[in-house]
């Protein structure tokens, strides 16, 4: 098993829940086999134990694997009916074991290889003349003479390859699945047993009076801000609300205000070891359909297993809940039972604990009486009875039933008044709820419509408008849930249910162990006494002593998302913003000291974890003049990654100029950098970021970097991609990003060349060869478990590990991510430092930290926890003029910082001198603190946690339960164990394949004379041509050399990343086969792939290269005689490519260039394609992304004469370069029969086509492509 089972915690929980029901004639007494999943085993071990159980009890190996790792069937239109019924039936029996996986399994007779449903691990196979089958993660593992290989193939997403070891029979996926589909009457069982909730009779809809809604809103702690910023956008637009500029409010355990228990949980997310999914563009592999009902014995199969209720969405409205309450009316027994989650509020924690115990007993009794559906409800609270937090109630019952062995006999449904955002829904489902009914959120939306506070269709009556608003709310919550699942790399809600992909921050171990069993809670925290006190505080607002006062009382204003006087405090409030800007503009240190005193005081009033710390000097203080100078300290400072596009050109350049002057580093962000800045020492950004969108990532861009940063996650929205809306895609931004003006850009959630730690190592390898003198940095986000990830990153030869806190800023992020994903930077930094030291890796890497650093105290605490370098983003934007309006995503920044609008940009007042003043003041504070602590340099302070202690003067009704020992102390180390970087990584540059290429290309590099090189290649030779390309770019600039100046022929199997970032002037010709990432970041060069002339197989239909070919290619050409894998030309933005067949997701996020595809494509073609063009031979329209096609975003056209001529030219070039028989045949057919053109289809994005039309008109009329009139027309045609 190569991969990760992202759902393994939930899979193990469900397996444990099933154990009491397991019975098998084949296995007899099963008690001695429990637990099925051995505690402490790996995900592979648990998978193997369950697989073995299924096989030993009578199912075939393919059958068991198809149950555990089913293909994506829910949205696949071309699936055979029998197979669909097989897969649907088994989805009712068992949740998928979901995650990126390549598996090979055998029971001794049959061997089966398969990939996960999304194909997130590579798998290649070869068949030889003498019947040898070789399956591996890459091709070239065993070398064969070309004439011995009769077939080259690849494992496909969700598909199997099976071999009978006795007979030698090789069976393809469709053969295996056809056999499985015929084993039993799956369709009959499904059709007879399933009840679809959407098809049941409607129930009477109840409308609640305003007074009832208002009182319950107070009971559950609703605020005006939540109604305005959370519910209204979801009910109006059907999408999750967006916010900007990060979070600078206290985490729940440090907040003075009563917080919902949801706020004590943070979402975990995928980084490095497994990728997040792209739920937006790869929706076909996801599913929000779920089933409810008792699940019988896993080891049997019968019609009884299909007696389930199907929900299209896990969020249900009040009327659907009424269907559940009444559809199963039975005179013999009550099949649906409601358990009230209410407790006597005056009995405080004891009353809460007693009621939770009683609810668990009631659940057990209901199951014994025959109940199949349990509704855990917090409705009907009153003056005496307060609602138990729904997450606590649901999880308590869920884990009680697991321990009791009855969990599979019943479905849990949450009827929850405290749910009003995506995070709440996600947490309830992750802790066992099959469905969530956020009844009060829906009633609140209806009330907003009826009060005229929510815009509706003027022609709709109020009931219809309210109903439509509720359905948009449900859609937003469901789609938001899908994104939360996707952050963790989980495809289906069935797998997410019970997966517990959360970390508790600030909950006591006692609460977690009892009610949220298996959840990580590193710091401990509050107990039931505090939970009860927070409930009681909300309850008092709904039921005050003076009841008459309620009639005139509004909801609390709220201030969690935007600062409001008297509400939740923010580290950046109007006073701190004023003092910071005044101090840095005037250069007055005394005012700056007032600013830092206020910020530090806020922190010590418990707004951050570091506010709990105090300095505890272990050395005598030293004189200030003995401490390293300000200039040395400032070299450790960097500004955060803010892209040219998200912030204005003026703001971006101001930061770069300032950092270059002080010897620090500014960061391009993910938007690239214009060439005039790349080559200007005063205005360039020293750090070039490489993010998932690869915007502007070329050989030139990388060559002019001091440091190259791989952004794996962002503190404000880990596990998610970025987005630049159409109105910000001005021509100058589009030019830098190699995109289309007026057409919005989305960067994918995952790097499509990082699905594993091995892939990250490969990208580090590639980038180091793209610029051998640059440091390679890897950006991670703090969460529990970041330590082992950082150790893997260090072993992967990253030079720098950056730890970002959850509170970092951003230009745009879903609100639930902003507030509920990632952990405090202090936790992540401490874990990284300790893990690197435990593994003897600390001296190999520089550790950097960022996330709401604002003062010298912040810097010194970070250093003592292990950081050597320090990043600032929000604070330097404030210095540059930002006033925290938090409208960055709207392009309406009133001070010209986060906008591209020329009129608003004219208001920008920031200056490099202000930024320099800020960093000078910070460095001076750092010097003073170092002197006080007895250190002469930051190097001496790094990792010395003995100089930190808890501030005993701090007393807080919640924080007293926190145990910060894991942060401050951790493991004991030998005195000589390195605490900071002491040596550089060995990147083995001197042994790279390109050393020989460089020697052979000397005349071309020096004099531009043509050279021809012919060498053998093996699959251990990776990133061939990249270091050579760097040398070409360094000497000859972005134009490179004339075409084919350096002509290299390679024979054999190429390793990953052949020709990565290859510039103009180099042609790589491979005779043989290649692995993944060929032509990654292609920057003007040419790559040709062809089979060996003596190969025993044709090029057509055989796989010649792996996955993710041409990722981020900006220019140049690819000619590939054969089939390639998944995600061909993902994020392509300018290259030309010809290929003879692709896997799934080809041309995903394509923004420019031209693709000619002469063979079958996989599914989901053109998802997110916003620019460029493609011509496809014999296109199957079912393989196109259906959403893009239905919306009209993609257009299918016959070829006009210009495209015909281009296709003729490319076919001729393809035949010439690769010897393609297919290209020769097509050219012949086109000459003989013009009707052959009907086999070709032109695929073009509608917006891109219209922009091309505008450009053509502008050129005809003699206007510039970026003048105001042209730009206005572009925005009109793209609706930007």
335 and 410, same structural domain? yes
Q: How far apart are CA 389 and CA 703, in angstroms?
A: 55
Token duo for residue 250: 């206290």
Q: Are residues 595 and 515 in the same domain?
A: no
Residue 627 lies in a domain: yes
**Whether residues 181 and 86 fall in one domain:** yes
Distance CA 1111, CA 1261 (A): 36
Give CA–CA dist 1261/1267, Å, rounded. 12
* Helix 43-56 / helix 8-18 crossing angle, nearest 10 deg: 40
Task: Report whether 697 contacts 672 (CB < 8 A).
Answer: yes
- Return the structure tokens found at 82: 């029998």
Q: Are 187 and 235 part of one and the same domain?
A: no
Q: What domain range includes position 682?
A: 574-968
Chain segment 970-983, per-residue pLDDT in tens: 899 999 999 999 99
Beta bridge partners of 641: 667
Q: What is the CATH number of the domain that holds 1083?
A: 2.160.20.60
Whether 651 and 910 have beta carbons less than 8 Å apart is answered as: yes
Is 527:509 a contact under the CB 8 Å cutoff?
A: no
Domain co-membership, 470 together with 500:
yes
**pLDDT-based confidence at residue 453 (cuts at 50, 70, 90):** confident
* 901-934: pLDDT as tens digits: 899 999 999 999 999 999 999 999 999 999 999 9
User: How many CA atoms are closer than 13 Å to the CA of 27, on its beta-carbon side?
Assistant: 19
Helical axes 757-770 vs 786-795, angle rounded to 10°:
40
Partners of 700 in the β-ladder: none
Residue 346 domain-assigned? Answer: yes
- pLDDT score of 561: 79
CA dist 423 and 483 (Å) reads 10
d(CA 507, CA 1252): 57
Supply angle C-alpha 724, 667, 769, rounded to 5.
105
Closest CA to 811 of 871, 740, 900: 900
Across 818-842, average pLDDT: 93
Give the H/E segment covering residue 1139: strand 1133-1139
| One domain, residues 943 and 1019 | no
Nearest-angstrom CA–CA distance, 69 and 101: 9
Same domain as 237, residue 148: no
pLDDT of residue 723: 75
Per-residue b or e along 121-143, where b marks 16 or more CB atoms closer than 10 Å to that residue's CB = bbbbbbbbeeeebebbbbbbeee
- Domain end point (choices 1195, 1228, 1252): 1195
pLDDT at 604: 63
Q: Residue 566 CB: number of other CB atoms within 10 A?
A: 8
Mean pLDDT of the chain, nearest integer: 93
Q: What pLDDT, on the 0 to 100 scale, is given for residue 889?
A: 80
613 lies in some domain: yes
Whether 535 and 482 map to the same domain: the answer is: yes
Residue 455 has pLDDT above 80, yes or no: no
- How far is residue 476's CA from residue 473's CA, in Å, rounded to a whole number? 5
Contact, 1038 vs 1058, CB < 8 A? no
Look at the chain and report how many structural domains it folds into: 4
Work out the pLDDT band at 202, boundaries 50, 70, 90: confident
Q: Are 275 and 712 in contact (CB under 8 A)?
A: no
**What number is the average pLDDT over the span 656-677?**
96
Boundary residue ending a domain (1195, 1227, 1244): 1195
In-domain check, residue 331 = yes
Residue 231 is classified by DSSP as I
Please give the pLDDT value at position 953.
Answer: 53
In a domain, 1062, yes or no: yes
Handedness of CA 144, 145, 148, 150 (dihedral sign): positive
User: 228 and 101 in one domain?
Assistant: no
Nearest to 751 by CA among 1213, 1112, 1013: 1112
Query: Percentages helix, strand, coil for the chain, rounded to the nearest 5?
Result: 40, 15, 40
CATH number at residue 737: 3.20.20.70
| Residue 301 forms part of a structural domain | yes
Kindly state whether residues 745 and 865 are assigned to the same domain: yes
- DSSP one-letter string for 971-1040: S---TTS--S--S-----GGGSTHHHHHHHTHHHHHH---EEEEEEE-TT--STTHHHHHHHHHHH-TT-
pLDDT at residue 549 above 70? no
Rounded CA separation 1213/1211 (Å): 5
- Does this model's pTM top 0.85? My answer is yes
Instruction: Please indicate, yes or no, if residue 773 is contained in any of the structural domains.
Output: yes
**Tokens of residue 804, six digits:** 């970002």
Query: What are the pLDDT digits (tens) for 70-91?
Result: 999 998 888 998 999 999 999 9
- The pLDDT of residue 247: 79
Residue at a domain's end among 951, 968, 985: 968
The most confident of the ranges 240-244, 843-847, 1182-1186 is 843-847
1090 and 958, same domain (yes or no): no
Query: Does 792 lie in the same domain as 655?
Result: yes
Residue 10 belongs to a domain: yes
- Reply yes or no on whether the pLDDT at 328 is more than 60: no
């Amino acid at each position: 098993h190569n991969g990760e089972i992202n759902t393994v915690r939930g899979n193990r929980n469900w397996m444990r829940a099933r154990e009491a029901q397991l019975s098998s004639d084949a296995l007899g007494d099963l008690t001695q086999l429990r637990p099925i999943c051995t505690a402490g085993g790996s995900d592979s071990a648990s998978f193997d134990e369950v697989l073995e159980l299924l096989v030993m009890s009578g199912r075939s190996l393919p059958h068991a694997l198809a149950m555990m790792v089913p293909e994506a069937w829910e949205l696949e239109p071309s699936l055979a009916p029998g197979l669909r019924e097989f897969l649907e039936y088994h989805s009712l029996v068992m949740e998928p074991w979901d995650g990126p996986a390549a598996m090979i399994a055998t029971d001794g007779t049959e061997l089966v290889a398969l990939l996960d449903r999304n194909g997130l691990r590579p798998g290649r196979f070869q068949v030889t003349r003498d019947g040898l089958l070789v399956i591996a993660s890459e091709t070239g593992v065993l070398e064969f003479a070309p004439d011995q290989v009769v077939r080259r193939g690849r494992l496909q997403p969700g598909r199997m390859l099976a071999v009978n070891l006795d007979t030698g029979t090789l069976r393809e996926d469709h053969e295996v699945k056809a056999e499985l589909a015929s084993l039993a009457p799956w369709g009959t069982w499904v059709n007879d047993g399933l009840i679809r909730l959407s098809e049941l009779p409607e129930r009477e809809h109840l409308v609640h009076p305003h007074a009832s809604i208002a009182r319950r809103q107070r009971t559950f702690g609703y605020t005006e801000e939540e109604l305005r910023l959370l519910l209204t956008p979801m009910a109006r637009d059907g999408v999750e609300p967006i916010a900007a500029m990060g979070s600078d409010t206290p985490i729940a355990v440090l907040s003075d205000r009563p917080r919902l228990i949801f706020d004590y949980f943070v979402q975990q997310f995928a980084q490095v070891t497994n990728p997040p999914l792209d739920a937006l563009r790869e929706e076909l592999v996801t599913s929000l359909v779920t089933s409810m009902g008792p699940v019988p014995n896993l080891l049997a199969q019968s019609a009884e297993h299909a007696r389930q209720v199907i929900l299209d969405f896990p969020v249900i409205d009040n009327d659907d809940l009424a269907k559940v309450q009444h559809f199963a009316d039975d005179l013999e027994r009550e099949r649906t039972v409601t358990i009230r989650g209410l407790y006597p509020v005056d009995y405080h924690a004891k009353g809460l604990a007693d009621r939770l115990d009683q609810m668990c007993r009631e659940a057990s009794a209901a199951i014994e009486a025959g109940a199949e559906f349990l509704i855990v409800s917090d409705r009907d609270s009153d003056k005496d009875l307060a609602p138990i937090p729904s997450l606590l109630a649901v999880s308590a019952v869920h884990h009680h039933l697991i321990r009791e062995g009855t969990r599979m006999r019943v479905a849990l449904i949450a009827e929850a008044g405290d749910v009003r955002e995506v995070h709440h829904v996600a947490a309830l489902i992750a802790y066992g709820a099959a469905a969530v009914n956020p009844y009060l959120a829906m009633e609140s939306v209806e009330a907003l419509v009826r009060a005229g506070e929510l815009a509706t269709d003027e022609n709709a009556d109020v009931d219809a408008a309210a109903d439509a608003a509720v359905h948009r709310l449900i859609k937003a919550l469901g789609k938001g849930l899908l994104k939360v699942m996707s952050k963790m790399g989980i495809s289906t809600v069935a797998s997410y249910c019970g997966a517990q992909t959360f970390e508790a921050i600030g909950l006591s171990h006692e609460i977690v162990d009892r009610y949220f069993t298996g959840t990580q809670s590193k710091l401990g925290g509050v107990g039931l006494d505090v939970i009860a006190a927070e409930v009681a505080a909300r309850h008092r607002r709904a039921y005050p002593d003076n009841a008459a006062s309620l009639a005139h009382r509004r909801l609390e204003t709220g201030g969690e998302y935007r600062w409001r006087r008297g509400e939740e405090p923010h580290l950046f409030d109007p006073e701190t913003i004023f003092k910071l800007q005044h101090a840095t503009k005037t250069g007055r240190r005394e005012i700056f000291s007032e600013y830092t005193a206020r910020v530090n005081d806020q922190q010590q009033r418990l707004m951050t974890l570091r506010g709990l710390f105090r300095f505890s000097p272990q050395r005598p203080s030293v004189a200030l003049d003995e401490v390293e100078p300000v200039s040395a300290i400032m070299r450790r400072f960097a500004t955060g990654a803010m892209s040219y596009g998200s912030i204005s050109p003026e703001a971006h350049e101001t930061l770069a100029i300032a950092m270059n002057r002080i010897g620090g580093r500014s960061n391009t962000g993910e938007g690239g950098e214009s060439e005039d800045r790349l080559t200007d020492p005063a205005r360039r950004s020293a750090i070039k970021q490489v993010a998932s969108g690869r915007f502007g990532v070329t050989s030139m861009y990388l060559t002019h970097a001091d440091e190259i940063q791989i952004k794996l996650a962002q503190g404000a929205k880990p596990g998610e991609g970025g987005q630049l809306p159409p109105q910000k895609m001005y021509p100058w931004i589009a030019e830098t990003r190699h995109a289309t003006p007026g057409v919005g850009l989305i960067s994918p959630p995952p790097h499509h060349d990082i699905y594993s730690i091995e892939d990250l190592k490969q990208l580090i390898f590639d980038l180091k060869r793209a610029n051998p003198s640059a440091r390679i940095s890897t950006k991670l986000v703090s969460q529990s478990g970041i330590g082992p990830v950082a150790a893997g990153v260090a072993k992967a030869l990253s030079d720098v590990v950056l730890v970002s806190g959850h509170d970092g800023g951003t230009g745009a992020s879903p609100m639930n991510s902003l507030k509920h994903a990632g952990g405090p930077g202090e936790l992540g930094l401490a874990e990284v430092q300790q893990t690197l030291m435990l593994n003897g890796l600390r001296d190999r890497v520089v550790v950097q930290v960022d996330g709401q650093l604002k003062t010298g105290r912040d810097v010194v605490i970070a250093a003592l926890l292990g950081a050597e370098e320090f990043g600032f983003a929000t604070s330097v934007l404030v210095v540059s003029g930002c006033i925290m309006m938090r409208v960055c995503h709207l392009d309406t920044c009133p001070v010209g910082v986060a906008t591209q609008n020329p009129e608003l940009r004219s208001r920008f007042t920031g200056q490099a001198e202000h930024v320099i003043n800020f960093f000078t003041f910070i460095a001076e504070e750092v010097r003073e603190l170092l002197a006080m602590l007895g250190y002469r340099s930051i190097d001496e302070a790094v990792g010395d946690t003995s100089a930190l202690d808890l501030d005993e003067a701090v007393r807080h009704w919640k924080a007293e339960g926190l145990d910060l020992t894991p942060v401050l102390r951790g493991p004991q180390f030998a005195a000589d164990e390195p605490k900071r970087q002491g040596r550089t990584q060995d990147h083995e540059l001197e042994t790279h394949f390109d050393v020989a290429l460089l020697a052979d290309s000397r005349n071309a590099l020096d004099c531009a004379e043509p050279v021809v090189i012919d060498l053998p290649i093996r699959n251990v030779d990776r990133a061939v041509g990249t270091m050579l390309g760097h040398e070409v770019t360094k000497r000859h600039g972005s134009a490179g050399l004339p075409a084919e100046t350096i002509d290299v022929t390679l024979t054999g199997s190429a390793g990953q990343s052949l020709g990565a970032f290859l510039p103009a002037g180099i042609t790589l010709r491979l005779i043989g086969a290649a692995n993944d990432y060929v032509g990654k970041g292609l920057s003007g060069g040419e790559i040709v792939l062809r089979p060996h002339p003596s190969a025993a197989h044709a090029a057509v239909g055989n796989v010649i290269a792996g996955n993710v070919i041409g990722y981020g290619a900006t220019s140049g050409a690819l000619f590939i005689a054969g089939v390639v894998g998944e995600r061909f030309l993902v994020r392509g933005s300018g290259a030309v490519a010809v290929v003879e067949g692709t896997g799934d997701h080809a041309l995903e996020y394509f923004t420019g260039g031209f693709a000619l595809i002469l063979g079958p494509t996989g599914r989901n073609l053109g998802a997110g394609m916003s620019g460029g063009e493609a011509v496809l031979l014999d296109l199957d329209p079912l393989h196109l992304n259906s959403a893009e096609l239905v919306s009209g975003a993609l257009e299918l056209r016959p070829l006009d004469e210009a495209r015909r001529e281009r296709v003729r030219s490319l076919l001729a070039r393809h035949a010439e370069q690769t010897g393609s028989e297919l290209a020769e045949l097509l050219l012949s057919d086109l000459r003989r029969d013009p009707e052959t053109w009907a086999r070709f289809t032109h695929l073009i994005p509608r917006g891109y086509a219209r922009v091309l039309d505008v450009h053509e008109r502008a050129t005809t009329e003699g206007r510039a492509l970026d003048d105001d009139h042209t730009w206005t027309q572009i925005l009109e045609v793209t609706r930007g």
